Amino acid sequence: MPATFYLVEQIVVRGKAFQLIFLLILGILTYVAYSLGKHGKVFVIRPLEGLDATWEGIGRAAEMGRPIMVLTGISGLGEPQTIAGLTVYGEVTQRAVSIGVETHTSNTDTNVIAFSEAIAKSAYDAAGKPEKYMLGEYVRWFGGDQFSYAMGCAGYILEKKPVMIVFMGYFLFDVIVSMESGNRVGSQIIGGTLSALPEMSVFSDYLLIGEELYAASAQISQDRMVIATLAGQDWMKLILVALMIIGVVLILAGNTAIVNLMGW
């Protein structure tokens, strides 16, 4: 056994072998689920209230002739929550543009701003209305700081009076200012994050809790194969639960095998 440990340490960074195995299993399970989806298996996932409300919000915005907003938070492209938020932004923008509703957005990171501009342009092109797209009109930047973002978004919300504001991404205390500003102009607030859940739970009308944010980014595409990847995610969660139960039982029996394995 020590020889195996020595061999593994030559290849994998110490203490990361278990993580790597887990990641590989997750990758395999996701790929299996994706392949099943590709071969016609339909995975049904429960509807997310927040997403349904988003489509209703777009329709209401069209009736009222007012814009909507999708805010992607205060982090860069290295943050998975931002990527999920940008996916939602892209899909929502395309659907909103097709029925004549403007979608505004903002982020603290200039990479994300450049990305959002490209997404907005692409959404207008895909909706068949490239002439309606204006650089700098739908994507704004208020500085790289959390609080300048909060105050900038609050001003933006008060100026545009959006019918609905979707908060999807990484947020901190800034949501207190921006969400409450949204409430004051009567916007419907839909939140989705892993980072500022207690704050969002106070101010949101609909809340996507934790990983529902990632599920939303998959479900919003309405692509069978994308939704299938969520099944792989659920299988992994079952393995984790099983591991936890075994770990608790073993620890109660005085055996630290699972703990040692995790530190491998």
Partner 1 sequence: MSALRTYIRSYMVRIIIIIGILSGLISFYFVSPEAVAVATELQTWNSAAAAWTLFVGIITVFARYVRSIMKRTQYWQYRAYGIVLMVVWVIMGAIVGLYSDLYQTAFYSTKITLHIAILGQLVFFFTSGVYRTFRMKTFRTAIYAFFAMLLIIGNAPWMLATFPQVDKLTYWLLENPSMSGERTLALTGGIGGAVLGIRILLGLEKGALRATEAS
Contacts with partner 1 by CB under 8 A: the residue count is 81
State how far the Cα of 54 lies from the Cα of 163, in Å rounded to an integer: 11
- Using rule CB under 8 A, residue 165 touches partner 1: no
Q: Can you tell me which of 52, 55, 201, 260 binds partner 1, judged by CB under 8 A?
A: 201
Residue 122 binds partner 1 (CB under 8 A): yes
Q: What residues from 50 to 79 belong to the interface with partner 1 (CB under 8 A)?
A: 76
Nearest CA to 224 out of 28, 11, 42 is that of: 42
Q: Is the dihedral of CA 206, 210, 211, 214 positive or negative?
A: positive
Interaction between residue 183 and partner 1 (CB under 8 A)? yes
Report in angstroms how near the CB of residue 60 gets to partner 1 at its nearest. 21
Q: Which of residues 226-245 bind partner 1 (CB under 8 A)?
A: 226, 229-230, 232-233, 236-237, 240
Q: Is 180 in the site for partner 1 (CB under 8 A)?
A: yes
Minimum Å distance from CB 115 to partner 1? Answer: 6
Least Cβ distance, residue 137 to partner 1 (angstroms):
8
C-beta separation of 236 from 211 below 8 A: no
Six-digit token pair at 46?
Answer: 């429960």
Q: Scan residues 6-45 and list those touching partner 1 (CB under 8 A).
A: 9-13, 16, 19-20, 23, 26-27, 30-31, 34
Q: Does 105 bind partner 1 (CB under 8 A)?
A: no
Looking at residues 243 to 262 of the shown chain, list those that interact with partner 1 (rule: CB under 8 A): none
Compute the Cα dihedral for 155, 176, 183, 82 and give only its sign.
Answer: positive
Tokens describing residue 29 = 């399970």
- Residue 201 burial (10 A CB sphere; 0-12, 13-18, 19+): exposed
CB of 9 to partner 1, least distance (A): 8
Q: Is 197 in the site for partner 1 (CB under 8 A)?
A: yes
| H/E stretch holding 246 | helix 224-252
Strands 68-73 and 103-106: parallel
